[in-house]
């Protein structure tokens, strides 16, 4: 069995170092890469359909409702991965609704920005998948450490900005989509790069999980991890495009 995946390190909280570790035992029906691909396609189809309907019918309230319910389902799946075959499709449904509402609000401010963000997200995903499969990108220990450290640093800034907003101080200026300074745009571009590189770590985790022969339900858990990274990437691309638009 090939085990060149080093340390099971990822910046994605849904694919942490404990996700595929532990004693799973021996299973007749185990996780496969093809199975994970199929589960991911199903999940993304649900997410995109839900988001499209919310966007078309302009249900902005789902931006908050869907996010809250999606967050609860995400936490539940992280602690109870056995629930993943049921919770992940529901997460895709509600998170898709949230993204539809958020996308509608962005599109009201900057017409056409959503289409651009979707195209860029899909393009980055396919490009990095091709680069990973062809081994143009090597997932070394230093690569993992760098991506995880950067992701954690960005997470700290997100949390700090959230607390500033809660206590009436407003969000950090670099988080403001109307802040078109070069520093703010540079920060968003950096976050997009780190979110993109997290996809590579997700691919590596999935490959290792398939090699380890973990139970079948982990295909849904892995699909969840990819969805979380893609959603993060999409939202950060939206933020970056909005800042670029505001410079005009």
Question: What pLDDT score was predicted for residue 2?
Answer: 46
Question: If DSSP codes are grouped into helix, strand and coil, which group holds residue 30?
Answer: strand
Q: Do 148 and 17 contact (CB within 8 A), yes or no?
A: no
Question: What pLDDT score was predicted for residue 247?
Answer: 78
What's the burial of 28, exposed, middle or buried (CB within 10 Å: 0-12/13-18/19+)? exposed
Rounded CA separation 170/162 (Å): 8
- Annotated domain spans of the chain: 25-245
Question: If DSSP codes are grouped into helix, strand and coil, which group holds residue 195?
Answer: helix
Question: Residue 226: which residues within 8 A CB-CB, separation 6 or more?
Answer: 40, 199, 202, 206
Residues lower than pLDDT 70 in the chain: 1-11, 13-28
Question: What pLDDT score was predicted for residue 6?
Answer: 45
């Amino acid at each position: 069995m090939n085990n060149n995946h080093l340390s099971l390190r990822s910046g994605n909280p849904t694919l942490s170092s404990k996700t595929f570790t532990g004693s799973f035992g021996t299973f007749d029906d185990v996780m496969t890469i093809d199975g994970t691909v199929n589960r991911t396609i199903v999940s993304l189809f649900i997410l995109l359909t839900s988001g499209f309907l919310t966007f078309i019918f302009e249900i902005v309230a789902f931006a908050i409702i869907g996010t809250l319910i999606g967050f609860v389902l995400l936490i539940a799946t992280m602690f109870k991965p056995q629930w993943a075959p049921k919770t992940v499709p529901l997460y895709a449904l509600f998170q898709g609704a949230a993204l539809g509402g958020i996308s509608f609000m962005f599109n009201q401010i900057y017409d056409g920005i959503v289409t651009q963000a979707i195209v860029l997200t899909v393009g980055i995903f396919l490009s990095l998948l091709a680069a990973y499969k062809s081994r143009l990108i090597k997932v070394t220990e230093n690569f993992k450490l760098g991506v995880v450290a950067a992701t954690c640093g960005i997470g700290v800034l997100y949390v700090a900005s959230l607390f500033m907003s809660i206590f009436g101080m407003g969000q950090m200026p670099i988080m403001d989509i109307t802040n078109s300074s070069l520093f703010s745009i540079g920060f968003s571009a950096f976050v997009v790069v780190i979110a993109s590189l997290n996809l590579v770590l997700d691919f590596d985790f999935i490959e290792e999980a398939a090699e380890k022969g973990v139970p079948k339900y982990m295909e849904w858990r892995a699909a969840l991890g990819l969805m979380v990274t893609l959603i993060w990437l999409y939202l950060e691309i939206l933020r970056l495009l909005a800042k670029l638009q505001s410079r005009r």
